[in-house]
Amino acid sequence: NLRKKYHLNVIVVLRDDKAISEITPDLVLQTEDILVVGGTNDAIKKFEKANEV
């Protein structure tokens, strides 16, 4: 859970030239998904470091 662990909110998921804006807990992320997130710079850096992004 990105919100609890990293204090990030997923705004939209980009998948196969589509934007998924209805983010629900049952949405399963796929390898090629691109996440657009909102949060502080520190929170984003923490996520990047932990996930080798």
DSSP states of 10-24: EEEEEETTEEE----
What CATH number does the domain containing 32 carry? 3.30.70.1450
Mean pLDDT of 13-35: 95
Model confidence at 53, in pLDDT bands (50, 70, 90)? confident
Mean pLDDT of 6-34: 95
Residue 32, pLDDT > 90, answer yes
Which residues form the domain of 26? Answer: 2-51
Mean pLDDT of 15-36: 95
The total of structural domains in the chain comes to 1
Question: Which residues, in sequence order, are CB contacts of 49 under 8 Å at separation 6+?
Answer: none
What is the reported pTM? Answer: 0.79
pLDDT value of position 52: 83
Residue 49, pLDDT > 90, answer yes
